[in-house]
Each structure stands twice: as structure tokens, then as C-alpha cells.
Structure 1
Amino acid sequence: MTASVTAILLAGARPTPDPIAVAAGVAVKPLAPVAGRPMIDYPARALLDHPAVARLIILTQRPDLYAADPATAWLAADPRVRFEAGGQGIASSLLALMEGEGVGYPLLVTTADHVLLDRAMLDQFVGEADGADIAVALVERRTLLARYPQSRRTWLKFRDGWWSGANLFWFGSERAKRVIALWQQVEQDRKKGWKILAAFGPLALIGAALRILTLRGGIARVGRRFGLDARLVAMEKAEACIDADKVEDVALIEAILGNALHRNSSPVRGGGPRSGGGVAPSR
């Protein structure tokens, strides 16, 4: 598709001190270093380097911090990037943004701690979500544990697998506001799967309890209830659901980045080192 997507990067701060920010000695978590770079640098570059993304909006309460930091000052200087003030909740901030000017559809939303976000993930998500009113990316438990058995996530259990969020959301039209308004009602319980399911109605809750409902079918059914096309995108890469949510996650992410750098810089058969390898900034 052409460069028509507005990417939104959630870079807000918690009301209480974040353990990762405290451990790193920085004011806000997105500035915490991961393998020598602020964590926000990784998803921001991945989004801006993707051909489908036309612009990037960073939702944060402290845009001044990013402009002042030499490692993230490029965000404030890039004409495709703009900062918007975030509110107290994700859903309310998104609704306010959608009501404003200069924000067109489709919207792709992700988080500043999605350090491992890459071109392959975005290719799959944009390709499968394009045309939907709303889409959500998830990773099935077997996909993750086959690569990273030590990783611990929050799982929703359904007949078609156990699923964990990949911090990628697609809002393709104005109709998506109906679901975001519901999200606003339950976002304080976003880690408590049962309360979220209950908000979608007793059928979803009972179906999940009895494991007679597939998540794919459930999302489609929720979409029909709201009069829109809703899709699940089952991500192929296990890394899609590994974000820097906890201090121990950062260690795993740095190991993954280190392994990728080693693979990309290892000698090829019959020649010298590969060119263009590693995870160094592309700008």
C-alpha cells in the first residue's frame, strides 16, 4: 500500500515511578537505554522506515524531554513527527486525538517499549489489517515458547490457543471509535482478561470460560456487534509480544538484539563480513 498510515507511538508516563526508568536513572521509561539506545528510538525508526507510514504522532506528557536528549532530538527535528499531549488513559487520549484535526485513517498504534518491532512485523500486520475497521495483533503461546521458553506473559485462553498481546492496533475508520469508547470504560482492568471479556457481553465471557469460543471468532463476533469489520492478526514472529514491560524483559531484549547483531555481522561463506548488518541507527 502507499504511504497513507498515521502511526501513533504511545510514550506516556505512569502516575507512579516506573521500575525501568528508576533503574536507568531517567525521567521517563521511553528514554531508558536498551543496548545503548533509548528504547523509543527502536520503534520510532521502524515505523518511519516503513513505506506504508506517512507520519508519526508521539503521545506523551513530556515532549520537552525528547527534544532535550541528544539521542532523541532527531524526533523533534523530523518533519514527519509531531508530539501530542497524552491524557490520563490510552483510550481517552486516542479518542481526543481522533477528534482533532490532521489525523486521518488508517491509524496504527503501538508503544514506545516495543523495542523489537521490525519491518517483517509491520509488513504482516499492515498487510492483514488493511481494509479492516479495527484489528489487533496477538501471539499464540506455542509461537512464543518455541523460541523463548523462559518468557512470561499474560495469556487469554481460548479453544484456538492461548494468546498474548503484541501492542499493535489498527483503527481503519471512524467506526473504530465505538470500540475505543468501550476500551475507555475497561482500560483500568486491561491486564484482567475476564473483565475485558465481560464488557463484550455474556456470550464472550461464557464462551471463554468453557473454551468453546475461538479468539478469532470472538473478535469477528464483537465486530459484528458493533457493526464493523474486526480482525485478529496472529503474528508469525515470537518477538512481536516481547516488550520492555519489566526490568528482566530488557535483559532478554538485549540478548535478542545482540544475537541479531552477531548473525548479521558474521562472515559469509567465501567472503568477508556482510554489509549493512547490525542494529545501528539508520539515519
Structure 2
Amino acid sequence: MSATPSNITAILLAGSRPGTDPLAVAAGVAVKPLVPVGGEPMINHPARALLAHPAIGRVIVLTQAPELFAGDPATAWLAEHPRVRFETSGGGIASSLMALLDRADLPFPLLMTTADHVLLDGAMLDQMVREASGADIAVAMVERRILLARYPDSRRTWLKFRDGWWSGANIFWFGSAKARPVIALWQEVEQDRKKGWKILSAFGPLALLGAVLRISTLRGGIARVGRRFGLSARLVAMDKAEACIDADKPDDVVLIERILA
């Protein structure tokens, strides 16, 4: 199914991980999405980008504490916006997403991103919607050369494959209900990270061998995992380096504010 104007539901993850977040503590706010970046809470940036995009019909903010956003004068507009609704999340992303799918009867397609994706913009969303449409599941990534060509000093976590070194761009696409078994598997990984190799082997011996020997391409690996589940899975290799720069550390915030300026 391809996405038509305004039929995509965007899920904006605005929860907090267990324990205290150093950025939130340093800024003196209750949760990380309220940390000021460029003069306002970071969540406002991706929220505005999503609401401005013609393909996005509605935005669901998934967080453990909706009242914090309604009670903050700088984010109260979100709680009052007719196309935004808040839903309460649990501890893990996948388990919260599964619970949301079960209780809210959400229409597909869904596009999911994070409150710390401050640099999210219309061009990134255009590319994601264009290249993910028709897939049951898609994940956005940035190849290392794309990032380093523009920001040579930026540090990321890279996954090495035969078709390059990749870093996550925190934009996910769930095109149909066929994505549910993959979300359920993600939930298992979240619950017990120590069983990671068992989870990987559930994708089949080729995927396991490919990961261990690093002989698999990321594109091929994602497509193969999809076939294992009887669905269409796709990598979206983002054109913009900024797609993988999120506000995770003080250095990131400095870089983001420089880019925004």
C-alpha cells in the first residue's frame, strides 16, 4: 500500500529510559524531551516537522508522563493541538508500540521517530515516505561517508557490513499489520538482551552466519529478514547526513545548535 496525502500516523517517542538522563539533569528538567535545544524543548522541533508534512495525518506522542508536556508552557501547544494526541507508554519501545497497536486500533501506515531527532525536516520525511511506501517495514540509516563528508568530527556508533558502515537515523516505517511479528521479536530482544544471538538465529542460520562473519550487506540482510517473516522489508539509505545526528550527548546538542543557527 502506498501512502496517500495525510493518511500516515506518526508516532513520536518521548519517553525516558530507566534511571536519570544526564542531559535532563544538566538542564534541570524532568525528562530529556524537555531539554532546551535552540532555545526551546527539543521535542518541539520534530513535532513541528511532522505536523507540517502533507503525508502525516496525525501525531501520537508516546510517553510515560503526558502531564509534563501539558504542564510546560513551551510544550502545552502539543497537548492542545487538534492533530496531536498523547498516549501513555511503558518501559520499552517495542512493548509500548505493541500495547498501542492493541488498544488504539491504529490505521497503517505508521511512521515512528524520536523526540531527540531535532534536525528532522521535510526532505527527510519526503525520502522516507517515498522509499518506504509499499514496504511492510522499513528502517532509515545513514552510511558513514555521507555523514563524514559534512561533519568529519561527528562521532556515531557504526554497524559494519559489506555495503558500508551504517548508523541508525531513528525513523522507522510500519506499512501494514504484517509488521507485528517483527515488533514482537523486537520486544523479546528488549526484554532479554543477553539472548541476542538466539533472537538473531530466529532469523535463520544465514542471517546468523552473516552477522558473525560480517559478510552480509545491510540491504540484503534487511530484505532477507523480511522474507523470513513473509513480508517486504527495506533499508532507506538517507541522503542527508543530519538524519543520524540526534540530541543524545552534550556534544550532539552543540553540533545541532550550530546547524540550526
How would you bin the TM-score normalised by the shorter chain? Answer: over 0.9
SS in 2 for 1:100: helix
Contact map agreement 2:189 2:196 (CA 8 A) in 1: no
SS in 2 for 1:43: helix
2:22 alignment counterpart: 19
Higher RCO structure, 1 or 2 (CA under 8 Å, sep 6+) = 2
Larger radius of gyration: 1
Provide the rounded CA distance (Å) in 1 between the counterparts of 2:24 and 2:45. Answer: 17
Provide the rounded CA distance (Å) in 1 between the counterparts of 2:217 and 2:199. Answer: 16
Residue by residue over 1:91-145, the C-alpha shift from the partner in whole angstroms, topping out at 9 and shown as x without a partner, is: 0000011112351100000000000000000000011001110000000011111
Residue by residue over 1:43-63, the C-alpha shift from the partner in whole angstroms, topping out at 9 and shown as x without a partner, is: 000000000000000001111
2:106 alignment counterpart: 103
Provide the rounded CA distance (Å) in 1 between the counterparts of 2:19 and 2:198. Answer: 23
Alignment of 1:200-239 (within 5 A): 200-239=203-242
Provide the rounded CA distance (Å) in 1 between the counterparts of 2:120 and 2:192. Answer: 25
Count of residues in Structure 1 that have an aligned counterpart in Structure 2? 257
Residue by residue over 1:155-176, the C-alpha shift from the partner in whole angstroms, topping out at 9 and shown as x without a partner, is: 1111000111000000011110
Residue by residue over 1:185-236, the C-alpha shift from the partner in whole angstroms, topping out at 9 and shown as x without a partner, is: 112677x997874553332232133332111011000000000000000000
**Letter matched to residue 43 of structure 1:** P
5+ residue gaps, structure 1, are 259-283
Provide the rounded CA distance (Å) in 1 between the counterparts of 2:247 and 2:192. Answer: 20
Contact map agreement 2:204 2:228 (CA 8 A) in 1: no
Provide the rounded CA distance (Å) in 2 between the counterparts of 1:166 and 1:252. Answer: 16
5+ residue gaps, structure 2, are none
Contact map agreement 1:186 1:195 (CA 8 A) in 2: no
Calculate percent identity across the aligned residue pairs. 76
1:177 alignment counterpart: 180
Say what the alpha-carbon RMSD is for the aligned residues: 1.7
Provide the rounded CA distance (Å) in 2 between the counterparts of 1:49 and 1:137. Answer: 20
Is residue 252 of structure 1 aligned with residue 255 of structure 2?
yes
1:119 alignment counterpart: 122
SS in 2 for 1:94: helix
Name the stretch that deviates more: 206-215 or 136-145. 206-215
